[in-house]
Each structure stands twice: as C-alpha cells, then as structure tokens.
Amino acid sequence: MNMLQLFEKKKQGLALSQAEIDYFVEGYTAGSIPDYQASSLLMAIRLLGMTDDETFYLTKAMIESGDVIDLSSIEGFKIDKHSTGGVGDKVTLIVTPIIASLGIPVAKFSGKGLGITGGTIDKLESIEGLKTELSSQEFIDNVNQHKIAVAGQTGNLVPADKKLYALRDVTGTVDSIPLIAASIMSKKIASGADGIVLDVKCGSGAFMKTEQDAQRLADTMTAIGEKLGRKVVAHISDMDNPLGKMIGNKLEVVEAYALLNGRMEETHEDLLDECVVIASFMYQVAAGVDEAEATPAVKRVLADGSAVAKFEEFIVAQGGVIADIVQKDTAYKAAVTASTAGTVETINALLIGEASVSLGAGRVTKESALDYDAGIQLIAKKGDPIASGDTIAYLYSNHPIDEETVNKVQKAYTIA
C-alpha cells in the first residue's frame, strides 16, 4: 500500500477502507509518511468529505495511535464535556464544579487554546501555582477525593491528533466536519469517561458557521461515541456573539468565579443560561434523571454555595492560589467608544477573538507566549442601549495597544 493509491481512490470519489485509513494514521504518526503527502490527503478530505464509516475508522485509528486512559478505579459514572471552541467560552470552569458538587465524578482532560478560541488549560494556568500536568495517579486520586480533576492531555494520548492538528492548522484544513469529529472524539474516548456532553458552537466565532453544519458535526460525533459504547449528548449553542463579558485567560477565570459566587453584575445572563443548560445535560447523562429534575438541582447548588465551594476545593487541590483570582492591572489599557447611538445588535465574535489574540491573550503559533492578564472586557452586550461616545469595551495588555486593535473591537459592534 502507498499514499498514491489512497489519493487515486479519493480522486475517484471512492471511500477509503479501514486498512487504508490505518495505514495513513500509523504511517503519519510514526513519521514514515511525510507532511506533504498527509497535507494532500487532508485537503482532499476537507474538499470531498468522508463517509460515516471512513470517519469512524479514522477516529478508531487515532485512538489506537496512543494510550487509552483507564478510569475504572474511579467509582461511579464519569462524565466529561467538550466545546468545539468559542470566544469567551469559560463554561468548563463553571459546569465542572457544579457537577462535582452534585456528587458526580468529573474526570476532564482539556486542551490549550489555538487561534481565536481559548483553551481551559491556559485559563487554569493563569492562576498562580495551579498545576495542570497531573500524573495518572494524581488525576485519579483527585477525582476520587474531590470528585473533580481537570488536566492537560498526557504525552501519549492520541499522538496522531497532535501531529494532524498541527498540520491542519497550517494547511487550511481545520474546518472539516469529519476531521473535527475524529479529532475531538478520539481524545474524548481515549480519555476514558463514560458519558460526554458536546457543546457544538455555531456562528461567526466558531468553526461551524451555519446551523446545518453544526447539526451535521453534532450528529457525526454522537454516532461515533455511541458506536464506541459511550453515552453522548450534543447541544448546539450560539457563537455569533462572545459568551459573557470577559475574553482573555485570567479575565475569564475571574468572571467564572464571580458567576459561581452569584455576582451577576460582573457577568452576563447569556453565560449563566448556557452553563445551566450544559450542566443540566451533564447531570441528566450521568445520573439518568430527566430535565425537570436536573435543571433545578443545578440551580440549587449554584444558589446555596456548594458549586463555588467545590470550585475553590478543586483549585486548591491542584495547587492554585484562590487569592490570585482577581483582575490584575496591565501596563496598558484602552477604552473603545461607540461611534453612534442605538442598540447593540450583535458583537462579532470572530473580530473580538482576533483582537484578543493581538492583545496577547491567544497564540499566533504553538510557541507564542501568552499574556495571561491580557484581554477584553465587554461593557456593552447585545441588546444594550448606548449613546454615541459611550465606552463599550476596555482592552487590557502588557504590551502597547495599537489603533488597529481598538478599531477592530469598535467594528465588531453592530449598533442599530
């Protein structure tokens, strides 16, 4: 078998067999298939798609490229969640302690941000002392003792995805439904949880721009998970507008902590609503209860302080300093003002995400150093009335803020 034969089949519109997909994944992971041949196949997949069987074989081959985590020494139904990536998406920081405070073990492996979409690991690492590199034993012990652990992916978890994702990122092949589905589901299955709630983002700040594509991605991932014996629920949520008021690593942790503390003036209803929905799905999947039971339980642990207490317990268990969860002064701050009066119709999440990367909150390349305190605070949100000249956002960075970034945030606002 060789790659030229695979190219010929793809060009003729034929589906690749399981053996051919195994050959590609094993060869690329081992380094015997070069980047240029892998790129060619990825672009063919991006343009022509894959059948359900091909996508399933790809996911399986990716899982088998590395270790599969055994969580059997954790008692109970282990639940995980995954977002396909958004701007201001700090939902994991909020829903994981909610679920753990309901007694459900949350064993979560998360990733770092790349491009405009943030990553939970970067957000957690913005907290002084917090460790996200846990050994398997530490991870399991933390879940058994505290019902919650969130760690970065271990060295040998789906090594095929590490190589393929890096290549996709620089070859214009990230936004492909089968490639995203295989990438996410291989990591989720290899991470060992029994149930998975998928938050599929849809809109300007997401990989899926239309509801139809988001639904196809959700259906593809759900089918893969169920075929591999997992309970999976997918929820499609809006990513035309950033979620909540803060975008940036430390800023998002501060906002999540404020929400858990019930300080709604420091956050926004859209974030609370989204967290209640995702947490409710997680509880339904894990506890086998219906929505009528799950949603009030989620609201109860938010209101009675159990969720915030669990958040603090989790941060301390991983070495983090609670007193460090405060907004830090940055060397530079800029106000963005409204150029016209009216009502905020929409805030383009893509432009806000790009601006936050320019401020230092995201990576341009995998090697970029992050400015943990950099980011954007949205003063005006969708639906807010504003007068011309009002401050609609603040920008924070530890390097000088250029005019282009200020203008980009102003342009992100559509005021009707």
Residues that bind ligand URA (CB under 6 A): 84-85, 165, 174, 179-180, 183-184
CB of 295 closer than 8 Å to CB of 102: no
* Tokens representing residue 114 in the block: 């790349």
Q: Give per-residue burial for 266-283: e unless 16+ CB within 10 Å, then b.
A: bbbebbbebbbbbbbbbb
Give the nearest distance from C-beta 151 to ligand URA in angstroms.
Answer: 15
Q: Which residue in the list 10, 60, 81, 82 is annotated as catalytic?
A: 82
Q: Which residue in the list 22, 80, 122, 161 is annotated as catalytic?
A: 161
Give the nearest distance from C-beta 186 to ligand URA in angstroms.
Answer: 9
First CA to last CA distance, the chain: 59
Half-sphere exposure of residue 317, counting CA atoms within 13 Å on the CB side?
Answer: 22
- What does the alpha-carbon distance between residue 76 and residue 71 come to, in Å, rounded to a whole number? 10
Give the nearest distance from C-beta 180 to ligand URA in angstroms.
Answer: 4
- What does the alpha-carbon distance between residue 197 and residue 264 come to, in Å, rounded to a whole number? 25
Give the nearest distance from C-beta 21 to ligand URA in angstroms.
Answer: 17
Which of residues 228 and 289 has its CB atom nearest to ligand URA in the complex? 228
- What does the alpha-carbon distance between residue 330 and residue 64 come to, in Å, rounded to a whole number? 45
Q: Which residue in the list 101, 110, 126, 183 is annotated as catalytic?
A: 183
Q: Which residue in the list 187, 188, 268, 408 is annotated as catalytic?
A: 187
Which of residues 56 and 165 has its CB atom nearest to ligand URA in the complex? 165
Longest dimension (CA), the chain: 66
Q: Any idea what the Cα angle at residue 332 is, between residues 330 and 338, rounded to 5°?
A: 115
Place of tokens 């070859």: 171
Give the nearest distance from C-beta 187 to ligand URA in angstroms.
Answer: 6
| 146 in catalytic set | no
Q: What is the DSSP letter of 175?
A: S
Number of H helices, E strands in the chain: 16, 12
| 402 in catalytic set | no
| 135 in catalytic set | no
| 263 in catalytic set | no
Which of residues 183 and 318 has its CB atom nearest to ligand URA in the complex? 183
Give the nearest distance from C-beta 323 to ligand URA in angstroms.
Answer: 33
Which of residues 147 and 168 has its CB atom nearest to ligand URA in the complex? 168
| 82 in catalytic set | yes
Q: Which residues contact 355 (CB under 8 A, 6 or more apart)?
A: 376, 395, 405, 408, 409, 412
Query: Which residue minimizes CB distance to ligand URA?
Result: 183
Q: Which residues contact 282 (CB under 8 A, 6 or more apart)?
A: 79, 81, 95, 99, 104, 195, 197
Active-site residues: which are they?
A: 82, 161, 168, 183, 187
